[in-house]
Amino acid sequence: MAPFRNLPDATILTDRDALEPYRHDESHVLGTLPLAVVRPRGPAALKELVRLAKAEGFALVPRGAGTGKAGGCLPTGQRAVVVDFSAWPGEIQVSPQDLSLRAPASALLRDVKAAAAAQGFFYPPDPNSWESCALGGTLATNAGGPNACKYGMTRHWVLAVDALLEDGEIHRFGISSVKANAGPALGQLLIGSEGIFGFIVGATLRLTPLPREYTTLLLPVKHWQDLLDLPGRLCGAGYLPSAFEFFDPAVLAELRAHGPEEARRLPGEALAILEFDERGCTSEPFLEGLLDLLGPVAEGLEVASDERQRQGIWAVRRMTSAFLKERHPKKVSEDIVVPRSRLGEFFTGLERLGIPSVSYGHLGDGNLHVNLLAAGETEPALLERQLMDLFRLSMSLGGTLSGEHGIGLAKREAFLVLSDPGQIHALRALKQALDPCGIFNPGKVI
């Protein structure tokens, strides 16, 4: 407690019981016990924290709502202080004329999306944790979600960020317009940086008009490989779904057998959920065109008849991760990506590797949640080999080892081994330049 005694405008936790939860996020990784948790309520607290961290030699670890999937907000080592942004002040303000929204890092993504929607606008990023995660965490991790298929990731919706840098001050990078080209975009460097270059305390987000209609489709198939060329075929023909999700046969069977009421009614051996949100997507010509394009695979296609059914379908998809975790507490879930044109090759390769796994996720953008359900019972060296094989396979097809969850602690070793050495060198040089004392979230990513 001693060094924090004079910290202005902050709540400080040092009680062991209060610190314990900060060793966890929603990944399978466990952090160390932090020295303290600080909840700053203004810039003065951050300035003093940065000064103290340098003087006393402790690390600062940022945390939003703790819903991350890669351990990016977990303390490591013996001298870490968690900076919990949940009390960071600020209001959500929508600017209809600028098609933008300002919000503090502490705002819940749910409230950001609702504030935009209340004025007829849409903020598309929709990670699975969207109802509980904090905006700051989504910015630090460049969160994804089903809508990324059409709308891209968090980074594509950020106009400006306010960030704490190593001088202890908060700096703004970017402006309230999509046009800004005065030099390289430092704000973009901070998004997805997982707090290793500085901490994001607020942002100006880009909005777009709220979609006025949705078509949500259930596409059950007998042979699940029949789904794999559909994302590419649809996109190639000008049908860009706002979401294209899937469950492989094993995940679907488990959901049907043990999931909630809505899951028990799901059809097919494997199943895709497609959603379109452009103007005209509920019209007959649109659906007829889609059916023509899909051909025989569309035999069992079901259109959600109303908003209630649509919400029921999404509720099942949204609970799949937690559902599988509850049934297989020691599972390891990955989030690799391959270009959608190579999905078939990916699954052929996965079968050839013999990695026991089940998959679901964002088929439309090639971001697959490959789950190793037996990870807890697998010998650690073998598990590591299986994961490295999985990452190598994805990369050999032009993909990557993480599509949306980030690197954090969970994938750091693999990231260092598998990345282009030039990339690691450049990232380390940036780290040295922006954080010469190494106080910002050390030991993460690089």
Identify the residue among 361, 364, 366, 399 touching ligand 2HG (CB under 6 A): 361
Is the CB of 369 or the CB of 412 nearer to ligand 2HG?
Answer: 369
**Residue 369 CB, nearest approach to ligand 2HG (Å):** 4
Min separation Cβ 405 and ligand 2HG, Å:
6
Closer to ligand 2HG by Cβ: residue 138 or 321 = 321
Using rule CB under 6 A, residue 369 touches ligand 2HG:
yes
Closest to ligand 2HG by CB, 362 or 412: 362
Query: In the bound complex, what is the minimum distance in angstroms from residue 320's beta carbon to ligand 2HG?
Result: 6
Residue 355 C-beta: closest distance to ligand 2HG, Å: 15
Count of residues touching ligand 2HG (by CB under 6 A): 7
**Token pair in block for residue 235:** 């996109």
Residue from the set 128, 147, 204, 402 that interacts with ligand 2HG by CB under 6 A: 128
Considering only residues 233-272, where is the footprint of ligand 2HG by CB under 6 A?
none
Question: 233 vs 325, which CB is nearer to ligand 2HG?
Answer: 325
State the minimum distance, in angstroms, from the CB of residue 244 to ligand 2HG.
13
Pick from 67, 216, 333, 441 the residue near ligand 2HG by CB under 6 A: 333
Shortest spacing between CB 404 and ligand 2HG, in angstroms:
6
436's tokens: 């010469």
Q: For the window 132-151, what string marks contact with ligand 2HG as x by the rule CB under 6 A?
A: --------------------
Report in angstroms how near the CB of residue 64 gets to ligand 2HG at its nearest: 16
Which tokens belong to 276?
Answer: 């379109």
Cβ closest to ligand 2HG, residue 83 vs residue 358: 358
- Of 102 and 369, CB closest to ligand 2HG: 369
φ and ψ of 161, to 5 deg: -125, 145
Mask 302-331, x = binds ligand 2HG (CB under 6 A)? ------------------xx----------
Residue 65 beta carbon to ligand 2HG: minimum distance, rounded to whole angstroms: 15
The residue ranges that bind ligand 2HG (CB under 6 A) are 128, 320-321, 333, 335, 361, 369
